[in-house]
């Protein structure tokens, strides 16, 4: 038997899977440069190739089963259709390049700018590379890069997954995802959770594993064992099936084994996501992302269009709680009609509720539309604002919500300043919802899209848990709900710790609800509190996991 090689990364979606490892197809090689005999024809070829890439991405977005996947694909399509990119292609053709080399050089220039900018833009380099590769493939008459289609189940490995790679990914064939780069909030991590696939990111050495090698992936611990035998693979598959079956056996509301109730809610982007929430008996919606209605538009959606979109979701939830987030734009979700260009650091700029400082009517229109949709359905609607930092912001937002005729006003805790003053915020709002992705980013001064800092963004970091505990204690003291709607809520191992810290609801991708429900059902409320104390007292995330396990 060959020696088993154990690799270590960051587990971002719990679960065990075993199968042969396959990699994303190689990037198409460029042919030797050729002079452009007919510059206009070369520009036309390049323009047509980019248009085909855009059309392909939009088709994939349209048939994506998950709205998160669709959103990411639409954003990538916008980059491929950018007029400035086309201008760059024309300039390179005018300098004598043929279409394929003009496209390559235009993307190369963008790549240098993005890398020099750092932060969020630097993390978009992988998207640029993916777009370049797709356009080059079209120009060379080759298939666009994508995931393998071997006709049998396998573990997919890659440097990092581009959004388009995952659009047609079949969870019945792809058993798990392992990437060499990425972090807990990378596209790979978010999409793995949306698809319910075990996943490990930031795993050095995975691309050195020979194709076809049997590997075991543990999406909770981040361990990848390469070179296992068929008996070990079958044992892993059997164990994974038993875990899934055990999770499915738990039904009904979320609660600990001694009856302490914890609402299990779903994150959605539109009414298309509601059936998936119903399939797993979600108790409501803990995060309705309204920004999906605003993306890819030159002007904001009007009052009536917003009413229709919100009403569809409210009606589909049939009286269950719907926590709707007001527009969360800026930073990694810039909107053209907001004219936000030129911010030196968008992650620390005008985003979330701060948009109301410059464009108060955007918030006023949205609140009026939410109120109208609620009045038409009688839904249990709670409204929360993203990116709240101070008591004054919370007070002003709560007043605006109530002036619109809406009964429940809350704020998201994404900034450490807000977490530290959670007790003050709960004097003026009805609930808190913790966005762990951004709270990690700001607490550790680590860009959430930077794979090199993935360890700092681990939701098991004790400092992050301590901030969550401050919010939970404030909720207990005031008798008001405190939820988590960030990616941490979908981790079955972490769920009991969050409950032990005082969290009263967990909102996640629908696929994550059954294993989280089962994890809570296996612990008492006292167990949860004891485990929370251990995790917070740990020196780091790795040790926190060990102590809890």
Contact 436, 459 (CB under 8 A): yes
Strand partners, 157: 23, 178
- 47: which residues sit within 8 A by CB, 6+ positions away? 86, 89
Pairing mode of beta strands 380-385, 321-325: parallel
Length of the chain, in residues = 549
Per-residue H/E/C for 124-179:
CHHHHHHHHHHHHHHHCCCCCCCCCCCCCCEEEEECCCCHHHHHCCCCCCEEEEEE
Strand partners, 176: 155
What pLDDT, on a 0 to 100 scale, did the predictor assign at position 479?
97
Per-residue H/E/C for 63-102:
HCCCHHHHHHHHHHHHHHCCHHHHHHHHHHHHCCCCHHHH
Strand partners, 324: 288, 383
For 524: left if phi > 0, alpha if psi spans -120 to 50, otherwise beta; the answer is: beta
> Where does 202-318 show beta strands of DSSP type E?
214-218, 223-226, 263-268, 284-289
Alpha carbons 139 and 517: distance in angstroms, whole number: 49
- At residue 333, the 3 state secondary structure works out as strand
Alpha carbons 235 and 230: distance in angstroms, whole number: 9
Residue range 256-548 in CATH 2.40.128.260 = no
Tell me how far the alpha carbon of residue 535 is from its chain's centroid.
24
What pLDDT, on a 0 to 100 scale, did the predictor assign at position 14?
83
- At residue 238, the 3 state secondary structure works out as helix
- 382: which residues sit within 8 A by CB, 6+ positions away? 321, 322, 323, 324, 408, 409, 410, 430, 431
Tens of pLDDT along 125-142? 778 888 898 899 899 988
Alpha carbons 191 and 369: distance in angstroms, whole number: 30
Contact 243, 517 (CB under 8 A): no
- At residue 306, the 3 state secondary structure works out as helix
What pLDDT, on a 0 to 100 scale, did the predictor assign at position 66?
65
Alpha carbons 93 and 96: distance in angstroms, whole number: 5
Helix residue ranges, H only, 333-461: 355-358, 360-377, 391-403, 416-420, 422-425, 436-444
Of 68, 24, 57, 66, nearest in space to 179 by CA: 24
Q: Is 485 a catalytic residue?
A: yes
The one catalytic residue among 13, 471, 485, 528: 485
* Record: fold of 39-139: Enzyme I; Chain A, domain 2 (1.10.274)
Angle between helices 525-537 and 462-478 (to 10 degrees): 140
> What pTM was computed for the model?
0.75
Alpha carbons 441 and 436: distance in angstroms, whole number: 8
Helix residue ranges, H only, 454-494: 462-478
| Phi, psi dihedrals of residue 210, rounded to the nearest 5° | -65, 140
CATH 1.10.274.10 in the chain is located at: 39-139
Alpha carbons 436 and 250: distance in angstroms, whole number: 26
Alpha carbons 276 and 237: distance in angstroms, whole number: 25
Alpha carbons 42 and 339: distance in angstroms, whole number: 33
Contact 50, 86 (CB under 8 A): yes
Q: Give 494's DSSP letter.
A: T
Contact 475, 502 (CB under 8 A): yes
Q: Is 187 a catalytic residue?
A: yes
Residue range 5-25+146-246 in CATH 3.50.30.10 = yes
The one catalytic residue among 187, 203, 471, 528: 187
CATH 3.20.20.60 in the chain is located at: 256-548
- At residue 501, the 3 state secondary structure works out as coil
- 329: which residues sit within 8 A by CB, 6+ positions away? 291, 294, 335, 338, 340, 351, 352, 355
CATH 3.50.30.10 in the chain is located at: 5-25+146-246
Q: Which residue ranges in the chain fall short of pLDDT 50?
A: none
Strand partners, 413: 434
- Interior/surface letters 427-464, b for 16+ CB within 10 angstroms, e for the rest: ebbbbbbbbbbbbbbbbbebbbbbbebbbbbbbbbbeb
- At residue 217, the 3 state secondary structure works out as strand
Of 229, 194, 174, 157, nearest in space to 70 by CA: 194
- At residue 224, the 3 state secondary structure works out as strand
């Amino acid at each position: 038997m060959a020696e088993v090689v154990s690799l270590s990364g960051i587990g971002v979606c719990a679960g065990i899977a075993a199968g042969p490892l396959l990699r994303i197809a190689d990037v198409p090689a460029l042919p030797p440069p050729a002079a452009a005999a007919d510059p206009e024809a070369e520009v036309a070829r390049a323009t047509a190739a980019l248009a085909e890439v855009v059309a392909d991405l939009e088709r994939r977005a349209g048939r994506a089963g998950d709205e998160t996947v669709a959103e990411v694909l639409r954003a990538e399509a916008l980059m491929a259709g950018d007029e400035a990119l086309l201008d760059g292609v024309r300039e390179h053709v005018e300098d004598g390049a043929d279409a394929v080399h003009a496209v390559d050089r235009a993307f190369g220039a963008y790549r240098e700018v993005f890398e020099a900018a750092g932060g969020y833009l630097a993390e978009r380099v992988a998207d640029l590379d993916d777009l370049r590769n797709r356009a080059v493939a079209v120009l060379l008459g080759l298939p666009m890069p994508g995931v393998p289609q071997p006709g049998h189940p396998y573990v997919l490995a890659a440097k990092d997954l581009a959004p388009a790679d995952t659009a047609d990914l079949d969870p019945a064939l792809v058993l798990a995802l392992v990437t060499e780069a990425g972090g807990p909030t990378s596209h790979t991590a978010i999409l793995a959770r949306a698809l319910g696939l075990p996943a490990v990111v930031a795993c050095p050495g995975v691309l050195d594993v020979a194709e076809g090698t049997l590997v075991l992936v543990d999406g909770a611990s981040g361990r990848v064992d390469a070179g296992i035998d068929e008996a070990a693979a079958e044992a892993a598959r059997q164990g994974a099936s038993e875990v899934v079956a055990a999770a499915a056996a738990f039904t009904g509301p979320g609660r600990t084994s001694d009856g302490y109730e914890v609402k299990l809610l779903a994150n959605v982007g539109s009414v298309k996501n509601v059936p998936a929430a119903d399939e797993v008996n979600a108790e409501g919606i803990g995060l309705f992302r309204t920004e999906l209605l605003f993306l890819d538009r030159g002007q904001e959606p009007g009052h009536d269009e917003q009413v229709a979109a919100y009403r569809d979701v409210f009606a589909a939830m049939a009286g269950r709680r719907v926590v709707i987030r007001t527009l969360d734009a800026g930073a990694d979700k810039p909107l053209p009609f907001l004219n936000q260009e030129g911010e030196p650091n968008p992650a620390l700029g005008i985003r979330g509720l701060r948009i109301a400082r410059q464009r108060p009517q955007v918030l006023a229109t949205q609140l009026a539309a939410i109120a109208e949709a609620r009045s038409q359905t009688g839904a249990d609607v709670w409204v929360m604002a993203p990116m709240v930092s101070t008591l004054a912001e919370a007070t002003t937002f709560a007043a605006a919500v109530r002036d619109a005729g809406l009964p429940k006003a809350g704020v998201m805790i994404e900034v450490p300043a807000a977490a530290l003053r959670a007790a003050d915020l709960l004097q003026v709002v009805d609930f808190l919802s913790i966005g762990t992705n951004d709270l990690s980013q700001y607490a550790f001064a680590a860009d959430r899209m930077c794979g090199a800092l993935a360890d700092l963004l681990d939701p098991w970091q004790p400092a992050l848990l301590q901030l969550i505990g401050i919010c939970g204690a404030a909720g207990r003291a005031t008798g008001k709900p405190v939820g988590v709607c960030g990616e941490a809520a979908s981790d079955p191992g972490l769920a009991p710790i969050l409950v032990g810290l005082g969290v009263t609801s967990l909102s996640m991708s629908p696929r994550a609800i059954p294993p989280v429900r089962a994890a809570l059902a296996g612990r008492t409320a006292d167990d949860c509190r004891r485990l929370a104390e251990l995790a917070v007292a740990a020196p780091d995330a790795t040790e926190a996991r060990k102590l809890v396990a």
